[in-house]
Structure 1
Amino acid sequence: MRTNRTVLPLLVLPLALAVLVGCAAGSPPETTAHDAGAAWAYEGDGAPEHWGDLAGEYRACASGEQQSPIDLPAPRGGAALDLVGSGPVRGITADNGHTVQFTADDGATTAIAGADLDLVQVHFHAGSEHTTAGEASAAEFHFVHADERGALTVVGVLAERGAHNPAYDDLVAGATAGAGRASTVDVEAMLPAERSFATYQGSLTTPPCTEGVRWIVLERAVELGADQLGDLEAAHVGNARPVQPLGDRTVRHAL
């Protein structure tokens, strides 16, 4: 990244997206006072339906009108996403209590539609957060990017049970490591061969549910082996926010 990025997980980002450029990268996510003061979860008193009441800065979780995830239309097979990765990216994979997250070292970029964006982190949800025509996938991976102003673009990749996928081995290994470990990911290698997509304006899918996030969700799922999905689910399962109303937004198939 052009300036050092924070190692705070997306799941606890404060309202100002500018915090994505701050602390030194390379160490695993850490617990913050923000975490301790307003605990949230996927069940019980801290479940998604209560997020908006847990803290003032979480109000958008209940009152926002452009919330994520959403139910996406059935695949239509339109234009392919114009995405070029920078090749293998090094970083640290660690469990932040809500998911297993890869935090990229500085300098990792992805070109999307010709615009260079900084790869910030990659994390997963099991099952998926976005649904397609009402159906959830086995898992979903979020490739979080930021531009120079800190505005976020998240590329969502759905995953289904199938053949073992070596491109995900290093990330999945982080789910079983028990502590932060050095890892390498290759964004392009982790995407499906067919890259038609749906895009819309949404939000973070976890508190504080900040809006203004550009979502690009690939229509075709990748396959992961039963062993790979099993390792992810053993670390976190059911860590998915329910779909939110689309409202007056439009889901498009072009950037």
Structure 2
Amino acid sequence: MHRFPRSTPSLVAVPVALLLLAGCSSSSEPDAADAHGGDPGSVWSYTGDEGPSHWGALTSEYGTCSSGEEQSPIDLPAPKRGAALDLQASGPVEGITADNGHTVQFTAADGARTRIGGDDLHLVQLHFHAGSEHTVEGEAADAEFHFVHADEDGALTVVGVLADRGAHNPAYDSFVAGATAGAGRESTVDLDAMLPEARSHYRYDGSLTTPPCSEGVRWIVLEDRIELGADQLADLEAAHVENVRPVQPLGDRTVDYSLA
């Protein structure tokens, strides 16, 4: 049974510096920092002795990966099809797409603004996981995209979008092209066009899904999924596949539905 608590979780600021590649230049050498943050000098993986079950022991900075009580991703309940997400994007955003070793990440240039639920945020970056990290009633999607936003204090809101194999999606062409470029590539993303038309959603308190697994992240996962063409998914999976952290215990947390 999922209860419905406050509409806006309390946030703990997570340094935005953890999220960025080395600037937004056209450099062909992407920083080794991972998709959600982390120490470029550390080594972690999605498999073997450096995989998710071992992250907390790799270094003291990653201890939250094993000791945290509000970790992400989680298994989500059946959709409720409630009210739409109140999101207003500033329009197409330019930036650099590059492979950072764990995913392909679009890093937005300065000035990418988004208003979510009345909060003024800026889009920091976008990256993907193949398949999805969040599951719904135990079932994973073919991919998941994370649109990472920060407020002026550095507190994070991540909008998660699940994707299934289906029709070609031109809104993702620029990002996918960056995934296949083999080096940093100038890209443009249109957040509004990349989200599903229906925007009922889940909200919960969570964490980064990669080391250091910092908590205090507001998660908004849209219930409806987008479709990507088989060719688009193949291009993404050629770069990274199964770059997925397993679902984490919900514990004492609650999932808030966007009920009208």
* Structure 2 counterpart of 1:191: 195
1:253 to 247, 252, 257: 257
| Partners of 2:201 and 2:171 in 1: CA distance | 20
8 Å contact 2:14–2:156 — kept in the other structure? no
- Structure with larger RCO (C-alpha < 8 A, sep 6+): 2
After superposition, residues 156-171 of structure 1 pair within 5 angstroms as 156-171=160-175
Instruction: Say how many residue pairs are matched.
Output: 240
Specify the code of the residue in structure 1 equivalent to 2:17.
V
8 Å contact 1:26–1:103 — kept in the other structure? no
* Structure 2 counterpart of 1:235: 239
* Structure 1 counterpart of 2:181: 177
2:133 to 126, 129, 145: 129
| Partners of 1:18 and 1:192 in 2: CA distance | 27
8 Å contact 1:161–1:224 — kept in the other structure? yes
Moved over 4 A (4+): 20-24
| Partners of 1:69 and 1:187 in 2: CA distance | 22
2:15 to 14, 17, 21: 17
Specify the code of the residue in structure 2 equivalent to 1:30.
D
- Normalised by the length of structure 2, the TM-score is 0.88
Secondary structure at the counterpart of residue 231 of structure 2: helix
| Partners of 1:20 and 1:40 in 2: CA distance | 15
Q: Does 1:113 align with 2:117?
A: yes
| Partners of 1:173 and 1:27 in 2: CA distance | 15
2:88 to 72, 76, 84: 84
Deviations 1:9-29 (A, max 9, x none): xxxxxx952536997433564
Instruction: Return 5+ residue gaps in structure 2 as ranges.
Output: 1-12
| Partners of 2:182 and 2:151 in 1: CA distance | 32
Provide the identity percentage. 70
| Partners of 2:126 and 2:14 in 1: CA distance | 20
| Partners of 1:234 and 1:127 in 2: CA distance | 13
* Structure 2 counterpart of 1:219: 223
| Partners of 2:248 and 2:127 in 1: CA distance | 20
| Partners of 1:236 and 1:64 in 2: CA distance | 27
8 Å contact 2:128–2:143 — kept in the other structure? yes
* Structure 2 counterpart of 1:34: 39
Deviations 1:187-220 (A, max 9, x none): 0100001100000000000000000000000001
8 Å contact 1:21–1:150 — kept in the other structure? no
Secondary structure at the counterpart of residue 184 of structure 1: strand
| Partners of 1:197 and 1:34 in 2: CA distance | 32
Say if 1:164 and 1:21 are closer, same or farther in 2 by CA, change over 3 A.
closer
2:143 to 128, 135, 139: 139
| Partners of 2:77 and 2:257 in 1: CA distance | 11
Deviations 1:87-139 (A, max 9, x none): 11000000000000000000001110122101000000000000001100000
- Normalised by the length of structure 1, the TM-score is 0.90
Q: Superposition RMSD on alpha carbons, in Å?
A: 1.9
Secondary structure at the counterpart of residue 173 of structure 1: helix
Instruction: Return 5+ residue gaps in structure 1 as ranges.
Output: 1-14
Residue 254 of structure 1 and its aligned partner are, at CA, apart by 3.7
| Partners of 2:23 and 2:183 in 1: CA distance | 19
| Partners of 1:221 and 1:92 in 2: CA distance | 25
* Structure 1 counterpart of 2:6: none
* Structure 1 counterpart of 2:8: none
Secondary structure at the counterpart of residue 154 of structure 1: strand
